[in-house]
């Protein structure tokens, strides 16, 4: 197990390095002059040249990369050209809201998607299965912004049950200040026992989380269904039946443990993707997440910010992949042996 982990970890570091390399060079070949942007539209040629020297852009590109990586490991992720703030500080501002949204959406997708996929497979070609398949195809193929707006229309517009957007009502934000610990209203209010804020934050989270959950929910359901169908045809499932095991035990224990692997991979990849890839949801629900920040950075050719978000997402990808490898090895003892 240990050598397996070390091998996976080293591979993760390599992937991470490769990713920074590719992003760095792509950001540099884009025909936009960061130095000119740094000093603004009315700068003189001389000012631009000075900015270029200050940002280190006059050095050869491999020197620039080396310097960037050296700064990176020391916690200096560069300074945003747009906000003129350290990129790491910007990320710290936006990340909690993104994590809050991603994690709650994924929890929803997992607790609905896996059982739905299992039930669908266990009742293949019956009414439940047809319904669940129609539902999962819909969840995967409906455009996110459309789902978001329909949910707003129904739950805010007609039913007046849930807020239309934002993280917290302004009145509550002002009346009940929250002591910042993690930066997430939901978590901080829970820790400090600030129930009014907690309830309000939870209400605000429901619609964006449901919207975010739709796509992975469909994916998880389909993935679970198809690998369950495969496993349910295996000999050891027939053997379990031949020895008088109950269908429930066979399905949810003996088959599911074999079938869950691909689903775990999908879950991890979707989490990493959702972190900065939920710009549309954030836009519709006015959610102050990382997707917003990333989209602004791209539009402004704010390359330190782009690099920062990319590296953050890369770290999440690598870490989650490592976690997946560990989970797979725990689920299936044959992986460790290989």
Partner 1 sequence: MPEAILEIRDLKVSFRTFSGRVQAVDIQSLAVLPQEILGLVGETGSGKSVTASTVLRLLPERKAIVEGGPVLFKGQDLLAKTEAEMRKIRGREIAMIFQDPMSSLNPVFTVGEPLTRIIAIHQGVSLKEARERALAALGRVRLPNPDKILGSYPHELSGGMRQRVMIGMALSSNPDLLFADEPTTALDVTIQAQILRLIDDLRHEIKASIVFITHNLGVIAKVSDRVAVMYAGNVIEVGPTRDIFHRPAHPYTGLLLKAIPRLGETRDKLPVIEGAVPVIRRPETGCYFHPRCPRRDDACREARPVLAPIGPGHYAACGKPA
The residue ranges that bind partner 1 (CB under 8 A) are 234-236, 238-246, 254, 257-258, 331-334, 337
Q: Would you say 20 and 69 are in contact if contact means Cβ atoms under 8 Å apart? A: yes
Report, in Å, the least distance between residue 248 CB and partner 1.
11
Report, in Å, the least distance between residue 336 CB and partner 1.
10
Q: Would you say 261 and 300 are in contact if contact means Cβ atoms under 8 Å apart? A: no
Report, in Å, the least distance between residue 111 CB and partner 1.
22
Q: Would you say 199 and 187 are in contact if contact means Cβ atoms under 8 Å apart? A: no
Render the burial of 187-198: b for 16+ CB within 10 Å, e for the rest. bbbbeeebeebb
Q: Nearer to partner 1 by C-beta: 46 or 125?
A: 125
Report, in Å, the least distance between residue 5 CB and partner 1.
19
Q: Nearer to partner 1 by C-beta: 258 or 263?
A: 258
Q: Nearer to partner 1 by C-beta: 250 or 290?
A: 250
If phi > 0 it is left, if psi is from -120 to 50 it is alpha, else beta; for residue 43 that is beta
Within 13 A of 299's CA, how many CA atoms are on the CB side? 7
Report, in Å, the least distance between residue 19 CB and partner 1.
33
Kindly state the tokens that stand for 270.
Answer: 């979707």
* All residues at 6 or more sequence positions from 72 whose CB lies less than 8 Å from its CB, including other chains: 20, 311
Query: What is the DSSP code string of 263-315?
Result: HHHHHHHHHHHHHHH-HHHHHHHT---HHHHHHHHHHTT-HHHHHHHHHHHHH
Q: Nearer to partner 1 by C-beta: 92 or 241?
A: 241
Q: Nearer to partner 1 by C-beta: 158 or 243?
A: 243
Pick the closest to residue 211 from 167, 263, 151, 270 (CA basis).
151
Q: Nearer to partner 1 by C-beta: 54 or 126?
A: 126
Q: Nearer to partner 1 by C-beta: 45 or 242?
A: 242
Report, in Å, the least distance between residue 327 CB and partner 1.
12
Q: How many residues does the chain have?
A: 338
Report, in Å, the least distance between residue 130 CB and partner 1.
15
If phi > 0 it is left, if psi is from -120 to 50 it is alpha, else beta; for residue 168 that is beta
Long-range contacts formed by 330-336: CB under 8 A, 24+ apart = 331/257, 331/260, 331/261, 331/264, 332/258, 332/261, 335/4, 336/1, 336/4
Q: Nearer to partner 1 by C-beta: 36 or 335?
A: 335
Report, in Å, the least distance between residue 290 CB and partner 1.
37
């Amino acid at each position: 197990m240990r050598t397996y982990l070390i091998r996976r970890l080293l591979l993760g570091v390599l992937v991470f390095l490769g990713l920074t390399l590719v992003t760095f060079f792509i950001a540099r070949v884009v025909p936009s002059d960061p130095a000119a942007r740094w000093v603004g539209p009315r700068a003189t040629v001389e000012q631009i040249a000075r900015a270029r020297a200050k940002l280190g852009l006059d050095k050869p590109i491999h020197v620039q990369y080396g310097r960037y990586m050296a700064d990176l490991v020391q916690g200096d992720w560069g300074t945003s050209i747009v906000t003129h703030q350290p990129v790491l500080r910007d990320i710290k501002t936006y990340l909690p809201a993104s994590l809050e949204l991603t994690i709650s959406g994924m929890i929803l997708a997992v607790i609905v998607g896996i059982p739905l996929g299992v039930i669908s497979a266990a009742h293949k070609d019956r009414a439940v299965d047809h319904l669940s398949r129609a539902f999962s195809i819909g969840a995967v193929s409906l455009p996110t912004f459309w789902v978001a707006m329909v949910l707003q229309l129904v739950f805010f517009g007609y039913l007046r049950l849930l807020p239309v957007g934002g993280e917290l009502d302004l009145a509550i934000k002002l009346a009940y200040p929250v002591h910042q610990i993690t930066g997430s209203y939901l978590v901080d209010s829970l820790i400090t026992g600030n129930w009014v804020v907690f309830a309000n934050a939870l209400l605000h989270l429901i619609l964006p989380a449901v919207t975010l959950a739709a796509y992975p929910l469909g994916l998880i359901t389909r993935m679970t269904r198809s690998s369950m169908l495969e496993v349910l045809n295996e000999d050891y499932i027939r053997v379990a039946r031949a020895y008088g095991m109950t269908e429930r035990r066979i399905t949810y224990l003996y088959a599911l443990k074999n079938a869950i692997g691909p689903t775990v991979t999908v879950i991890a990849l979707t989490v990493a993707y959702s972190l900065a890839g939920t710009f549309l949801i954030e836009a519709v629900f006015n959610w102050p997440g990382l997707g917003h920040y990333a989209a602004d950075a791209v539009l402004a050719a704010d390359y330190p910010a782009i690099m920062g978000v990319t590296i953050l997402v890369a770290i999440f990808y690598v870490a989650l992949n490592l976690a997946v490898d560990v989970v797979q090895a725990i689920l299936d003892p044959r992986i460790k042996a290989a």
